[in-house]
Structure 1
């Protein structure tokens, strides 16, 4: 996996990632809202995938892009689907277990896990800058959890699930960036939803139930927001490097705070104001450092970039 970007367009990538953050934050709010309407997690995942798949195919058909579904890398799509649906279980689970602002903050640890993955999985040399950022970010998580204080508002299981979700998001970002070298964003999403919807359908006899029109509306809106966000997210990784554009993800905290206040009547606690900046600062340091290293490598100095 060399991380090659198909057509580098950094400003377009940043714009796509910003739009993706808004769409996915809206999806998270709708996931939590669906949970209050007694929709099971696995049922949400089925409808999220099952409604997205025909939508993607219809768009590809209208745009005369169905030929892009042809692939010589079915194994890569299967692996991405396995990790992807597992990641969605943890992401949706963290949303149901945690308030929106706390869940969004914990999701920002994905860049920290990306550093760990680059070091231990891909053998990249990581220096003091990024290791310090990792330590800073996890210190922020400790503050958000409020150990020794009033943790009545923070579910420890939710924090654990959120951290696993962030780890899987980091891993999946590498997979998507690799797939983008040869596959279009539309094909990546189509393969993912097409492979996972039948699997999730196996759970329906056990968790599915009848819903009123309002609940079906929430489920439909959740699927639409998720599909939009997934396409935008995948496209952003086609036009820009994850280490550079991931900074736009932090705008999700603004959306989460707004939705938590307006939809669920809850503002984040004061401790989040202390922990979140540490996590955001860690992610910014990592993004800055990786961009600097990428430029140094591109300059052909012959040095082995670390940092």
Structure 2
């Protein structure tokens, strides 16, 4: 039986609205990670995120009569989500120590590492556009962390490692997409990561203060809503339209860091972030032109 493909309709306004939801979710997650790690370990903060996500996703799966979550590739799910959890740990750890804008700038290197890993393990072509993006990304990283400056510390390397881990996760997802449904990937991601965070968290458990309950809810629901919003934005507009909106996260988080945490305005972080993001956009437009 032939499969009918329905073309997606372009609606830039809807894409913008969905991306606004994604930006709000990513920013909320960052603030929640910063606030929670002032009181508890990174493991405990991540375990709260997984508990909320698993509860919500299990409810959705039950409503669907658990259709679409069966898998015969549990080994790949375990590998993918162990790497992703390491990325989550590095990202939240960086949030607890680095300026928020610096974390977001370094995170923008994810597409660069994805291009490198996809060429190595999936046989995707390493085109000149990708080479330009990689070169600009490395220069941008050097500008952000500035070897010899105070920014070059363990936390900066943790966030850089998180970006690499996220890139590896995307490569796993591309490899699994032919057999695994998106809901199954997200469901197993949160279910597998729950014990990875909860077991070490129990050894250093801290009873959350009442004022942190809102941040516990924020880190869980923000994690679900962010990817949900991005997926819907991509349904209504091309990636070349959606991707530039993601960069708005950097000035927004820089302003929030300045207003609420007295983080100084660092022009090097903004310049490096612009360079990294520009490399990503050159790669995106170049690949579209090549195809």
Once residues 240 and 100 of structure 1 are traced to their aligned partners in structure 2, the CA distance between those partners, rounded to angstroms, is 29
Deviation at 1:206, TM superposition (A): 1.4
SS in 1 for 2:247: helix
Task: Kindly state the Cα deviation for residue 80 of structure 1 after the two structures are TM-superposed.
Answer: 2.1
- Tell me if structure 2 keeps the 8 A contact 1:8–1:240: no
Secondary structure of 2:261's match?
coil
The reply to whether residue 50 of structure 1 matches residue 48 of structure 2 is no
Gaps of 5+ in 1: 1-5, 297-307
Does residue 204 (structure 1) correspond to residue 201 (structure 2)? The answer is yes
Confirm or deny: 8 A CA contact 1:186 1:231 kept in the other structure.
no
Q: Sort the Cα spacing of 1:177 and 1:162 in 2 relative to 1 into closer, same or farther, 3 A.
A: same
Question: 2:22 aligns to what?
Answer: 20
Give TM-score, length-normalised by structure 1.
0.80
**CA deviation after TM superposition for structure 1 residue 223, in Å:** 1.4
Cα distance in structure 1, aligned partners of 2:133 and 2:40: 38
The answer (yes or no) to whether the contact 1:87–1:165 under 8 Å persists in 2 is yes
Secondary structure of 1:67 counterpart? coil
Aligned to 1:32: 34
Instruction: Show structure 2 runs of 5+ residues with no match.
Output: none
Instruction: Compare 237-246 and 265-274 and name the one that shifted more.
Output: 237-246
Alignment of 1:40-79 (within 5 A): 40-62=41-63, 64=64, 66-79=66-79
Partners of 1:281 and 1:275 lie apart in 2 by 10
Partner SS state of residue 72, structure 1: coil
Question: 3-state SS of the aligned residue for 1:78?
Answer: helix
| C-alpha RMSD of the superposition | 2.9
- More deviation, 45-54/113-122: 113-122
Whether the aligned pair in 2 keeps the contact of 1:106 and 1:166 (CA below 8 Å) is yes
User: Corresponding residue for 1:277?
Assistant: 274
- Counterpart in 2 of 1:162? 159
- Alignment partners' CA distance in 2, 1:22 and 1:202: 30
